[in-house]
């Protein structure tokens, strides 16, 4: 494997099932990673209330916020976008 290549992570069935059921992608990955909302908010450098609004579907994330969340969750931005699923 080339040093620049990133090995893709296996997505467990429990995550896939929740995504198919329509659960919020940020919440699904946060819970799978074993993080609380405050922990993820701190890692992504966003407020807890912003994260709560994003997980509830009341707000839509900006590209910058998606990038921060993806980095914190060790994902690609596309993994947090419903259209990409």
**What's the CA gap between 50 and 48, in Å, rounded?**
5
Q: How many domains does the chain have?
A: 1
Model pTM score: 0.83
Q: Which residues neighbour 79 within 8 Å (Cβ) at sequence distance 6 or greater? A: 25, 29, 70, 73
Compute CA 19 distance to the chain's CA centroid, rounded to the nearest angstrom: 11
pLDDT, residue 7, reads 56
- pLDDT per residue as tens digits for the range 56-69: 999 999 999 999 99
Give me the domain span that covers residue 67.
13-84
> Does residue 8 lie within any of the structural domains?
no
pLDDT, residue 85, reads 47
> Does residue 2 lie within any of the structural domains?
no
pLDDT, residue 82, reads 75
Token digits for 54? 């994003």
**What's the CATH code of the domain at 76?**
1.10.260.40
Side-chain-facing half-sphere of 30: CA atoms under 13 Å: 21
């Amino acid at each position: 494997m080339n040093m620049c290549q990133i090995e893709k992570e296996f997505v467990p069935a429990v995550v896939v099932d929740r995504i198919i059921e329509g659960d919020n992608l940020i919440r699904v990955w946060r819970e799978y990673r074993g993080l609380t909302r405050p922990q993820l908010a701190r890692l992504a450098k966003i407020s807890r209330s912003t994260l709560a609004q994003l997980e509830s579907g009341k707000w839509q994330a900006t590209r910058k916020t998606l990038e921060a969340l993806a980095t914190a969750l060790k994902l690609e931005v596309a993994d947090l976008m419903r259209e990409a699923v």
